[in-house]
Amino acid sequence: MTDTSVHDPLRTLGGTRRAFVVPDLKILYISVAKNACTTIKWLVSELAGEDPTQFHLGAGPYVTKDEGIHVRSRWQRTPVLNQIPADVRTAISPDNGWFVFGVVRDPRPRLFSAWQNKFLMRNPAYIQWRDEPWYPRVPQTAQDIVEDFAKFVDLLHMRPGAPVLDDAHFQPQVPYLAEDVVPYSAIYEIGTLGSMRADLEAHVRARGYAGAVRLGKSNDTPLRARADVFGAPVHERVDAYFHEDLERFGELWDFSRLDSVPPWSDDALSGLRAQIALSERICDLIALVKETRAGVSTKRQESLEHLRLQLDQLRAENRRLRHQVNDPLWKRAARPVVRRVRSRLHR
């Protein structure tokens, strides 16, 4: 470890987009994917005074407007850690009045939620995997879902280094929390978001913030994880893959809670199918926007080419006319000869 990392440990997180600093209110939020991060990012953006209209989406691979909050480059007033002065960064600590927080979640329902949201529901950002053998069908029954999830867990078990798994949604949470360098005030379990909101409110009120501190609602997965999704050997394989999370935070989670989740209703399944249809349409439209935009770009290049050719033509005509007007007769007569000689010399 270098001297810098000893005195400025947060610097090691560098430009990570998962860090959200609100210097005025002394807040640092370390985001972990699939842990209410959409809701919390909206809350942080409100506290930071971000303009919500700047998160309006273009042709990005998102299903709802809410998801514009994940485009980190749109944030204007909430820097990442290497965008703040070193003295501010080194001062980030609960001891100095900062509120530093993150959220964790039982990795089993988290994995099911991520799989459901990204693959089962045809998220546009993950549609490139649709020809893979483990890519889920449009489910007709609950059993289809159980089987297809098991196929994905097979992949997790057999090929943990597969490119599709190189994605924060499918990675353990412990490395992303980086507790060795981030001095947390608290790491909340996702079921205690109410406490997190209350603590955050108390913190910002003490710093004179008078606005609302509210958690919105993001409803991106219609099916709750149930115990029968994690039959053998799925349960064991998921636990093995997420062993870091379970070793560090395991006491927070009671897997038997999933036993009490009721079976998925017919409405939930038909709703899921309708949501898949909506996502497919969104995928088509995103592709159409991109294709049309590329077409416009090509056409504009053609326009420029035509303009360039016209410019050449006009310039040549201009030169010819100027010569005709200004040059004496002997010069005009000599020009073809000079041109011929010059071209010979250039060969």
CB of 137 to other proteins, least distance (A): 16
65 scored as a contact of other proteins (CB under 8 A): yes
C-beta of 294: minimal distance to other proteins in Å?
9
**Is residue 138 at the binding interface for other proteins, with CB under 8 A as the rule?**
no
Three-state DSSP string of the chain: CCHHHHHCHHHHHCCCCCEEEEHHHCEEEECCCCCCHHHHHHHHHHHHCCCHHHHCCCCCCCCCHHHHHHCHHHCCCCCCHHHCCHHHHHHCCHHHCCEEEEEECCHHHHHHHHHHHHHHCCCHHHHHHCCCCCCCCCCCCHHHHHHHHHHHHHHHHHCCCCHHHCCHHHCCCHHHHCCCCCCCCEEEEHHHHHHHHHHHHHHHHHCCCCCCCCCCCCCCCCCCCCHHHHCCCHHHHHHHHCHHHHHHHHHHCCHHHHHHCCCCCHHHHHHHHHHHHHHHHHHHHHHHHHHHHHHHHHHHHHHHHHHHHHHHHHHHHHHHHHHHHHCCHHHHHHHHHHHHHHHHHHC
- With CB under 8 A as the contact rule, the residue among 138, 202, 206, 309 that binds other proteins is 309
Q: Which stretch binds other proteins (CB under 8 A): 9-17, 28-36, 41-49, 56-64?
A: 56-64
- Told to check if 275 binds other proteins by CB under 8 A, we report yes
Nearer to other proteins, 136 or 222 (CB): 222
Question: Between residues 206 and 289, which has the closer beta carbon with respect to other proteins?
Answer: 289
279 interacts with other proteins by CB under 8 A: yes
Question: From the CB of 23, what's the least distance to other proteins, in Å?
Answer: 32
Stretch that binds other proteins, among 84-92, 156-164, 246-254, 277-285 (CB under 8 A): 277-285
Q: Which is nearer to other proteins, 185 or 279 (CB)?
A: 279
Query: Segment contacting other proteins (CB under 8 A): 23-31, 91-99, 129-137, 314-322?
Result: 314-322
Decide if residue 308 touches other proteins (CB under 8 A): yes
The residue within the footprint of other proteins, chosen from 247, 254, 259, 284 (CB under 8 A), is 284
Number of residues that bind other proteins (CB under 8 A): 57
- Summarize as ranges the residues that interact with other proteins (CB under 8 A): 56-59, 62-66, 219, 222, 265, 267-268, 270-271, 273-275, 277-282, 284-286, 288-289, 292-293, 295-296, 299-300, 302-304, 306-317, 319-320, 339, 342-343, 346
